[in-house]
Amino acid sequence: MLRLEFAHYDYKRRGSISAKDFALSMVAAADASHLSKLLDRVESLSEHPHLRDMRISLKEFKQFDELRSKLGPFSLALFAYGKANGLLTMKDFKRAASQVCGITLSDNVIEIAFHVFDSNQDGNLSVDEFLRVLHRRERDVAQPIAKGLSRYFSDGWKGSKNCSSS
């Protein structure tokens, strides 16, 4: 699934995706009440040449996905490494991912995440907002699988009831 998502953004088969596409993949699961604000931040990537020209490889994409799969321990680490007001620096973010989850995120991935989730652009990540979006994405990704399996077994059970033995 991850390769398909990456391929969706890498339609020219360059082996990397733009910072904007990576940011869109991060905010795709945001709830409607926050989506407009996050999409505005994604669009503002174009105003910063350094970010606009940045590319994210499949390896970096996978590393960020791996971090999402370890969201429980990562969430705790973010709050432990963060300031009392729920804000986090890039250095603390990178350290939490590495020391707690064993994942080395590239500076590019971290810069993009901070650009999108640093609501007031003060260099500190809004941990609550960041985690809310990632938790929602993980729940949304897992939900169709669970629904699909339960529907499969439910339909299978209904089908077996309708079978008659002669």
Task: Render pLDDT for 67-93 as a digit per residue (tens, 0 to 9).
Answer: 988 888 888 888 887 766 667 889 989
Three-state SS for 126?
Answer: strand
Structure tokens at 156: 């299978």
Q: Sort strands 16-18 and 55-57 into parallel, antiparallel or unpaired.
A: antiparallel
pLDDT of 33 strictly over 90: no
pLDDT of residue 148: 43
Domain layout of the chain by residue ranges: 2-142
* Residues 19 and 8: beta-carbon distance below 8 Å: no
Region of 57 please: left (phi>0), alpha (psi -120 to 50) or beta.
beta
Q: pTM score, two decimals?
A: 0.77
Q: Look up residue 28 and give its two tokens.
A: 């795709």
* Alpha-carbon torsion (111, 40, 143, 134), positive or negative: positive
Q: Is the pLDDT of residue 160 over 80?
A: no
Cα gap 87→131, rounded to integer Å:
12
pLDDT exceeds cutoff 50 at 133: yes
CA 104 to chain centre: 15
CB 111 within 8 A of CB 90: yes
Match 């590019």 to its residue by tokens.
108
Helix (H) or strand (E) holding 17: strand 16-18
Q: What is the pLDDT of residue 84?
A: 60
